[in-house]
Structure 1
Amino acid sequence: MDEKAKKQSLLMIPYGLFVLGAAHGGTATAATVNWVTQASFNPPLVVVGIKKDSGSHAMVKESKKFALSMLASGQKGIAGAFFRHVEPKDGKFGDFAFETGANGAPIISDAPASVECDVVGFYELGDHSVVVGKVTEAHVKRDADALTMKETGWNYGG
């Protein structure tokens, strides 16, 4: 396979940016993810790629629950804050407040929308696991355009 063509082709898939929240055993974490898509209307399913060597991966695998905070255009700072683990303290991850969803997973307070999910599929096939979540709750605080990788100038894919 032509590696350059593969990378260039796969980077043409448009990606949004999200913060995945997970909690288990009295601890919580949040991580920026971009491999997310809706996969079904009924039941409502989303699919997310979670890096296998991340703390989020272990928490989602154990708890079988997660939340996705949808980020709005202009929220690049929030997305950048969760490339590395940030320890939660006093209702915040670093500078960003969070709320606890009905399923126990953290949701970024400044996110315009979020969904809470129960894991219905967990596939460890590559360096990221493909996780299928059934949406059990949805929240909208305001209408907003999604933050995309193109807006940030970042690349993650290929």
Structure 2
Amino acid sequence: MSDDRIDPPLAADERDTLAGFLDWQRDTLELKCAGLTGEQLRLRAVSPSGMSLLGLVRHLAHVERAWFRQVLCDEDVPWLWGKETNRDADFDDVDEASPEEAFAVWRGEVEHARTVSAGLPLDALGKRLRHGEAYSHRWILVHMIEEYARHNGHADLLRERIDGATGE
């Protein structure tokens, strides 16, 4: 695997630091999936977990949409992958899922999130309450870094079981 990720800045303001770390984590997910076939991306390689790399891509597309479009901007967009009837559909329903579609949707949500994020101050509050609370843009960015970091750990294990590839 060729690693073309850009390291987060070492000395930058808060916005650039948060954006740099989030983009690095996003790029890590893409790196963990690079060069695999659709069959390999669908493989639930770490038993007894039902996770797959494709499921992680679909899940993170949903998470990007939920936090940036729904919570931060109060956009009226549907959940992805049928999650309104099965909360685990992003992970469960990968056997016939299209990797091309999943990556296209994920990349689209990432680009939308970047655009939204660039236009808001870090202390802006989300326009939609979640669990009765308003979340700040800053909190959402930190949460997204955490979300990707946790799932990239899963992706490390999955990728190593699929073809032996390891790395940061």
TM-score normalised over the length of structure 1: 0.28
The structure richer in helix per residue is 2
Larger radius of gyration: 2
